[in-house]
Chain A
Amino acid sequence: MAPWRYAIKCAATNADEVPATMTRVTGELPQDLFERVYQELRRIARGQRHAAGSPVTLDTTALVHEVYLKLHDAPDAKSIGRAHFLSLAARAMRQILVDHARARGRIKRGGDAIVTGLNDRVAGADDVVDLVALDAALTRLAALDERAGQLVEWRIFGGLEIAEIAQLQELTERTVFRDWRRARAFLVRELGLADTQA
C-alpha cells in the first residue's frame, strides 16, 4: 500500500472545500414579517387540509414556496431575495413544527390520528423521526459546523434543493452535497437510527 496517495487526497479535499469566507444568511426575519410568514403558512396549510379532506402529510416544500409567492412583493420582503427569503421561511417552519411537536408531546395524544383514504402509507413513518429530537441534534450540529446546520435547516424544514442552497451559501453544489452527506450521517447517528440494520 502507498499511504501518500491518500495524504494527497486529503490535501485536495481541504483545499477544495473550505471556503475562505462564508456567506452569512443567518439574520432573523423582521418580527412583523415573521408574523406574516407564520400566518400565511398556516392559512395555506389549512387551505390544503380543507381542500384535501384529511391528508396525512402536507407538502411543506410547496408551502414554503407558496408563502414566498404570496409575500415576495411585500415592501419589507422585496429587498431580501428569493433564496434568502426561502431560507428564512424554512427557519420559521422549523420553529413552527418543532414547537408544535413539543406541544403535542406535552398534551400526549390519545391515540394516533385516524387517517382516512388511500394516502396514509407514510403515516407509520411519521413516528420514525422525532422532530424534537431532530431539532436538538440539529442544534448540536450547528454548534460544531454552522454551515452544515444552516444547510440542514433549509433542506429538512424548507425543502430547499441543493442547487438553491449552493446559491445561498455561494458554494459549489458538490460541496453542498458533501456537507449534506456528512450532516445527514451525523444526524442519523445522533438520533440512534444507525444502530440496527435496515
Chain B
Amino acid sequence: MDTKRWQRICEVFDAVVDAPQDERAEVLKCLCAGDAELRREVEALLAADIRANTFEHYADSARGGMAADWADAADESADESADEFAYKRVGPWRLLREIGRGGMGVVYLAERADGAFEQNAALKLVKRGMDSDAVLARFLRERQILARLQHPHIAHLIDGGFVADGRPYFAMEYVEGKPLLVHCAALHANLRERLELFLDVCAAVQFAHGQLIVHRDIKPSNILVTAAGDAKLLDFGIAKLLDDSQGGTIDAQQRPMTPAFAAPEQLRGEPVTTATDIYALGAVLYELLSGARALASANATTPEAALRMLEAGVLAPPSRAAGMDAPLPPRLLRGDLDTIVLKALQRDPQRRYATAEALAGDLRRFLAGQPIAARRDRAGYRLRKFVGRHRLGVAASTLAVLALIAALSFAVWQAREKARQATVSDRVTQFLIGLFSGADPEHTRGASVTAQDLLDAGTQRLHADTQVAPDVRARLLQTVATTYTDLGLYDRALPLAQQALALLRRDPAQANADIAASLDQIGNLLRLKADYAQAEPLLRNALAMRRALLPVDDPAIIESLDHVAALDSAKGDFKGADAALAQALAAAQRHYGEGATETARYIDDYASNLDDMGKRTEALKIYRQALAIREKNLGPDDAEVATSLLNLGSHLDASGDYAAAAPLLERALAIRAKVYGPHHPLTGFAQLALAGVYQDLSRFDDEEKQARSALAIFRASLPPEHPQITDALNLLATTAMSRRNFTDSIPLAQEVLARSRKALGDTHPDTLTAKNNLAYALYHAGRYADAEVLQREVIAQVGADNGQGVDATDCENLANTLMKQGKFAEAISYEQRAVAIQTQREGEVSGNTAVALVGLAVAEELAGTNADAERDFRAALAVGEKLHASHDIDLFQWRLPLADFLVGRERCAEAEPLLDAIVTELKPREPLRDPLALLETQLLQGQCLIAAKHKAQGEVLQNDARVQLRKMPGIEVDLYATTARLLAAHGKN
C-alpha cells in the first residue's frame, strides 16, 4: 500500500461512513466498482471501525499501566510531592491519599471527618469528565448492589453520595491486607491453609450469587487477606445485577475482565452468569494450588487469544502444571483436587459446579477425607430417583377443601357480578352449605377423607337433584371436577367436566367464555391423564376462544397459556412450552404486577421449564425470584414460600448441590408442618423431597425416617394410586440397595414397578428406571434369571421411548447377568453392542468406551477366549492412558481389570507393576472413596506373594481383604473374575 492508495481508501471509507446505514453497501459497491482489492481494504477498515471504541479504551489502560510500571521501575528516591487531596473533604470523609485509579474513577484512603466515629474507608470517586449519564447510571447501580452485600468476606459498602460538583462517590470498607497469592507465598501456606482461605472466597461468592450478583472479575489480586487471616473479596464494582431489568449483555467497551481468568463465554462476550464466577474461582484455585496459571497469561493477552487457547487445548490438571517452584507438592493435588479444579474449569458452563457452595462442598469433603461429588459414576447400574415437581394446586385433602371453598366463593362472586345469574349464585351457595354441613371434623375420620367423601356425597346429591337449572348444574360440576383434579382423582373429575360441557353447549344463551373454560378444564384433565392427542385440540381451542373473547392479559388467558405449556412440556416440546410460558409470565406481570404473588406462580412454572430445557443456571435464578417475591409479600412462613423453597431445593438436589438443598427443604418442611400439620400430604411431599436429598448425602437413617413418615401420611390420606406413594417406595427401595440390603429392597422395588406400570404404562421412562432398579437388586441377590427377564424388557422398550436408542449401560447390565448364567456368547455380543454404542456416541477415546471395553474383555475372559480378552483389557487401559493425559480420569480403574486378568493367568511378573501403580495411586487418598479397588488389589497382591513362595505373608494379606469384602453382601458379583474366585476360594478352604 502506498500513500496514494491509502488516500483512495480514505476517500471511500469516509464516503461510506457518511452514508446512511442502509445505503452503505450500495455506496461501497459503487465506489469500488471494478476494484475488488480496494473494496476488501475498505471493508476490513469498516470492520475494524466497529471495534475502535474498545481499542481506545484498551489503549488508554495499556498506556496508563505501562506508565505506572515505568514509574515504579524508575530509580527509587522517595519524592514527597504534595498530595493535592490531603485533607480534602468528601461528604463526611477526609481524603488521606490516593490508593488506586481505574477506568472509572479514583480510589482514596479516607477517614471519617465528622468525628462521628473513627473509621477508615476506601473512597471511590468518579473521575471528572467521566460522569456521563451511562457511567453515572452504572455507578449508582454499583452503589445499590454493594449496599446489598454485607458479608464477612466481602469488602462492603459503608456510605455513598455526591460531592459538591455533582460527582458521585462511595465509601467501602478499607481492607488492609495482602493479595491472596502474596499472602500465601509469604507464609508458605500449606494445602489446608490455602483451601481454607479459598473456602472463605467461595462463601463470599455464594452469598453474592444468592443476591443475584455476579462478580465477573474474580482473580487473585482481587482477593486480599487481612492480618487476621480473613480473605476479603474486593471490587464488586463491575458486578452486574442478574435481575437487571435492562437485561442483555453490556457492550464490549464495558467488558472489564482479565483474560487469563475469564470463562469462555465471557471471552466470547456472551451473557455472564454465576457459572462465569465458578470458572474464575476454578482459575484462582488452579493458581493457588499449582503456582501456575490455568491459562498462561503471557499467551492470553487478549480475549481473542485467550479464547483460541481455551478452545484449542486441553487444560492440564493442576498437579501436572505445577512446576519446580510450585507452592505445594504435586502429589497432593493428584486425584481429587485435580478433579475438583477441572470441574470448575469446564468449558461448558452446565458442566461446572452448579454453585460456589457445591465447589466448596467438594473441597470440604476433600479436607475431611470423604468422597467428592465430582467423580464420575462408576459404570453399570445407576440408581435414579424420580424427579418431583412442586406446584401449588397439586394439593390434597384439607387444601382441596379450602380450594373448593375458594373456587365456590369465586363462582358466587362471579355470579353476583351478573344480575341475570342471581339464581345461579343462590343455588351454588345452597349447594355449598349443603355440602359442608356434614364437614364437622368431629364426625369425620380425617380431613383428607372428609374432602373426598364430601365430594362423592355432594356429586351424588347433585345427580339426584333434578331441580337444578342447567347453568347452575354446569358450574357445580366444574367446581367439583376441579376439586377432584386437585386431589389427583382425574378419573372421577373427567366425566363431571364433560357433563358440564354438554350442559353448556345445550344452552345457547351460555357465553362462549364459559365453554372455553370448560374446554380448558377437560383438556387439562386429559393432559394430566397423559392423553395428549385428545388434550391438544381442546386446550388450543380454549386459548383461541379466550383470546378472541376476553380482554388482553385476562387471567383466563394466562391460565390457558399455562395449560398449553404444560401440554407441550409433557410432550417433550420444551421450546414450545417456553414460548407459551414467557407469554403467560409477561401477561401476568402486566395484569398482576411484576412483584405480585400471583405472578410468582408463573415465574415458578417458567423456571421449571427452563430446568427441563437444561438451562439450569437461569432456572435457579428465576426460582429465587419467585421465592423473593413470595417471601416479600407473604412473610417467611407462608405456604407459598414453602412451595418456592421446595422447588429451589429440588432444583439444587438435581444439580448435585445436596448440601445447599438440605436446609431449604428442611425449612419448607418446617413451614408446611406448621401450616398444615404433621399428617398432611403437603407436609409429606416436603418430607419426601428432603428424604431424597438425605439419600444423596448418604444420610440413610434420616432418609428412611422422612421417607417412611411421608409414606405413612400418603397411605392414610391420598388415593392409593397416587404417584407420590410410588416415589416414597422407590426412595426406600433404592436406599436399601445402597445399604446392600438387597433382600429387603426387592419387594419394595417390585411394588414400585407394579405401580409405575399401572400408572404410566410399560415404556414410560420411570417404569424402565423401576425395572432397572429391581433388576439391580435381583442381580445382587443372585436371582439372575429374574433379572434377565427385566433387562431384556428394558432393552426392547427403551429405544421406543426416548428416541435415542438403547443405552449401552442397559446392554452391559444384561451381559453381566448372562455371564453369571454361563451364557457367554450372548454376553459377548451385548458387550460388543455396548462398545459400538459408546464409540459411536462419544468416540474411541472416551471414558465410557473404555468402561465398555472392560466389560467386553471380562465376557471374553469368562468365555475362555483369552487372547481377545487380553487385547481388550489392554485397549481399555490404552484409552484410559490417553484420557489421563488430559482429563481427570483415574488409571486404577483400567489397570485393575488387566491386573486381575494377568494374575488369573499366573502372570504375576506382568501384573505386579500394575498393582503397585494402583496402590501408589490410591493410598495417598485415604480414607478411600473406592475401598473396593484397593481390597481387590490386596487379594491379587496376596496371590502373587503366594505364587512367589511367600505363602504366609500372602494369606495374611488376602484374609484381611476377605474379611472386609464379606462385610458387603452381594459384593462377589461386583468383582472381577480372579478376585471373585479368590474371595470364594477361601470358603472352600
Bound-state Cα–Cα, A116 to B883, Å: 40
Bound-state Cα–Cα, A53 to B107, Å: 11
Bound-state Cα–Cα, A198 to B12, Å: 25
B72-113: CB near A (< 8 Å → 1, else 0) gives 111000110101000000000000011111111011010000
User: Which among B51-59, B198-206, B704-712, B717-725 touches the partner chain?
Assistant: B51-59
Chain B nearest Cβ from A189, distance in angstroms: 4
Contact B14 A45 (CB under 8 A): no
Contact A53 B45 (CB under 8 A): no
User: B47 on the interface (CB 8 Å rule)?
Assistant: yes
Q: Which residues of A contact B30 (CB under 8 A)?
A: 1, 3, 6-7
User: A112 on the interface (CB 8 Å rule)?
Assistant: yes
Contact A144 B257 (CB under 8 A): no
Contact B51 A10 (CB under 8 A): no
**Most chain B beta-carbon contacts within 10 A, residue among A7, A60, A157:** A60
Chain A nearest Cβ from B215, distance in angstroms: 11
Chain B nearest Cβ from A68, distance in angstroms: 16
Q: Which residues of A contact B234 (CB under 8 A)?
A: 117-118
Nearest chain-A residue to B28 (Cβ)?
A6
Assuming the contacts A127-B297, A196-B307, asked whether A46 and B6 have C-beta atoms less than 8 A apart, the reply is: no
Contact A184 B52 (CB under 8 A): yes
Bound-state Cα–Cα, A113 to B106, Å: 19
Q: Which residues of A contact B260 (CB under 8 A)?
A: 124
Contact B55 A9 (CB under 8 A): no
User: B256 on the interface (CB 8 Å rule)?
Assistant: yes
Contact A51 B70 (CB under 8 A): no
Contact B52 A181 (CB under 8 A): yes
Contact A52 B67 (CB under 8 A): no
Q: Which residues of B contact A129 (CB under 8 A)?
A: 55, 58-59, 61-62
Q: Which of A100, A186, A195 contacts B66 (CB 8 A)?
A: A100
Chain B nearest Cβ from A96, distance in angstroms: 6
Chain A nearest Cβ from B532, distance in angstroms: 42
Contact A119 B66 (CB under 8 A): no
Q: Which residues of B contact A14 (CB under 8 A)?
A: 11
Contact B122 A182 (CB under 8 A): no
User: A77 on the interface (CB 8 Å rule)?
Assistant: no
User: A80 on the interface (CB 8 Å rule)?
Assistant: no
User: B909 on the interface (CB 8 Å rule)?
Assistant: no
User: B786 on the interface (CB 8 Å rule)?
Assistant: no
User: A193 on the interface (CB 8 Å rule)?
Assistant: yes
Contact A52 B78 (CB under 8 A): no
Q: Which of A114, A127, A131 contacts B179 (CB 8 A)?
A: A114
Q: Which of A48, A112, A198 contacts B252 (CB 8 A)?
A: A198
Nearest chain-B residue to A119 (Cβ)?
B100
Interface hits, B1-48 → A, CB 8 Å: 1-3, 6-7, 10-15, 17-19, 26-27, 30-31, 44-48
25 contacts between A and B (CB under 8 A): A7-B30, A42-B70, A45-B74, A49-B68, A52-B101, A63-B67, A104-B73, A113-B69, A116-B99, A116-B224, A118-B100, A121-B217, A122-B61, A122-B65, A125-B61, A125-B62, A126-B62, A127-B302, A128-B301, A128-B303, A129-B55, A130-B62, A185-B48, A193-B58, A196-B303
Contact B83 A51 (CB under 8 A): yes
Chain B nearest Cβ from A41, distance in angstroms: 9
Q: Which of A48, A124, A131 contacts B217 (CB 8 A)?
A: A124
Contact A145 B3 (CB under 8 A): yes
User: A162 on the interface (CB 8 Å rule)?
Assistant: no
Q: Which residues of A contact B59 (CB under 8 A)?
A: 129, 134, 156
Total A-B Cβ pairs within 8 A: 284
Contact A1 B26 (CB under 8 A): yes
Q: Which residues of B contact A178 (CB under 8 A)?
A: 14
Q: Which residues of A contact B69 (CB under 8 A)?
A: 100, 104, 113
Q: Which of A1, A119, A193, A195 contacts B54 (CB 8 A)?
A: A193
Contact B55 A56 (CB under 8 A): no
Assuming the contacts A96-B70, A124-B259, asked whether A116 and B221 have C-beta atoms less than 8 A apart, the reply is: yes
Q: Which residues of A contact B79 (CB under 8 A)?
A: 43, 46-47, 50
Contact A52 B182 (CB under 8 A): no
Contact A193 B62 (CB under 8 A): no
Report the 8 A-B pairs with minimum CB-CB distance, sorted nearest first. A119-B100, A57-B64, A198-B252, A124-B258, A47-B81, A45-B71, A126-B65, A188-B48
Contact B304 A196 (CB under 8 A): yes
Q: Which residues of A contact B509 (CB under 8 A)?
A: none
User: A120 on the interface (CB 8 Å rule)?
Assistant: yes
Interface hits, B292-321 → A, CB 8 Å: 297, 300-304, 307
Chain A nearest Cβ from B212, distance in angstroms: 21
Q: Which residues of A contact B48 (CB under 8 A)?
A: 184-189, 193-194
Bound-state Cα–Cα, A157 to B15, Å: 29
Bound-state Cα–Cα, A127 to B294, Å: 16
Assuming the contacts A46-B79, A58-B71, asked whether A114 and B182 have C-beta atoms less than 8 A apart, the reply is: yes
Contact A184 B31 (CB under 8 A): no
Chain B nearest Cβ from A7, distance in angstroms: 8
Chain B nearest Cβ from A141, distance in angstroms: 9
Assuming the contacts A58-B68, A127-B302, A184-B49, asked whether A118 and B56 have C-beta atoms less than 8 A apart, the reply is: no
Contact A119 B224 (CB under 8 A): no
Contact B107 A117 (CB under 8 A): yes
Q: Which residues of A contact B18 (CB under 8 A)?
A: 9, 13
Contact A46 B102 (CB under 8 A): no
Nearest chain-A residue to B98 (Cβ)?
A52
Interface hits, B239-268 → A, CB 8 Å: 251-252, 255-262, 268
Chain B nearest Cβ from A57, distance in angstroms: 3
Nearest chain-A residue to B68 (Cβ)?
A58
Contact A112 B297 (CB under 8 A): yes
Assuming the contacts A6-B15, A6-B19, A182-B10, asked whether A46 and B100 have C-beta atoms less than 8 A apart, the reply is: no
Contact B100 A56 (CB under 8 A): yes
Chain B nearest Cβ from A43, distance in angstroms: 6
Interface hits, B359-403 → A, CB 8 Å: none
Q: Which residues of B contact A127 (CB under 8 A)?
A: 62, 259, 297, 300-302
Assuming the contacts A57-B68, A121-B104, asked whether A193 and B179 have C-beta atoms less than 8 A apart, the reply is: no
Q: Which residues of B contact A117 (CB under 8 A)?
A: 99-100, 107, 122, 234
Contact B49 A185 (CB under 8 A): yes
Bound-state Cα–Cα, A47 to B219, Å: 28
Q: Which of B6, B102, B172 contacts A144 (CB 8 A)?
A: B6
User: B853 on the interface (CB 8 Å rule)?
Assistant: no
User: A31 on the interface (CB 8 Å rule)?
Assistant: no
Nearest chain-B residue to A120 (Cβ)?
B221
A160-197: CB near B (< 8 Å → 1, else 0) gives 00000000000000000010011011111101011111
8 additional contacts, CB 8 Å, given A46-B71, A60-B67, A63-B67?
A: A54-B72, A57-B101, A114-B181, A116-B99, A120-B100, A127-B302, A185-B46, A193-B58
User: B908 on the interface (CB 8 Å rule)?
Assistant: no
Contact B235 A6 (CB under 8 A): no
Assuming the contacts A48-B71, A117-B107, A145-B6, asked whether A56 and B101 have C-beta atoms less than 8 A apart, the reply is: yes
Q: Which of A43, A58, A104 contacts B64 (CB 8 A)?
A: A58
Nearest chain-B residue to A189 (Cβ)?
B48
Contact B256 A55 (CB under 8 A): no
Q: Which residues of B contact A122 (CB under 8 A)?
A: 61, 64-65, 102-103, 256
Bound-state Cα–Cα, A51 to B58, Å: 25
Contact B70 A128 (CB under 8 A): no
Bound-state Cα–Cα, A127 to B65, Å: 9
Assuming the contacts A50-B78, A115-B179, A119-B99, asked whether A194 and B26 have C-beta atoms less than 8 A apart, the reply is: no
Contact B237 A197 (CB under 8 A): no
Q: Which residues of A contact B78 (CB under 8 A)?
A: 50
Q: Which of A59, A93, A97, A157 contacts B101 (CB 8 A)?
A: A59
User: B749 on the interface (CB 8 Å rule)?
Assistant: no
Nearest chain-B residue to A127 (Cβ)?
B301
Bound-state Cα–Cα, A17 to B18, Å: 14
User: B443 on the interface (CB 8 Å rule)?
Assistant: no
A1-23: CB near B (< 8 Å → 1, else 0) gives 10100110110011001000000
Q: Which residues of B contact A49 (CB under 8 A)?
A: 68, 71-72
Contact B256 A125 (CB under 8 A): yes
Interface hits, B644-697 → A, CB 8 Å: none
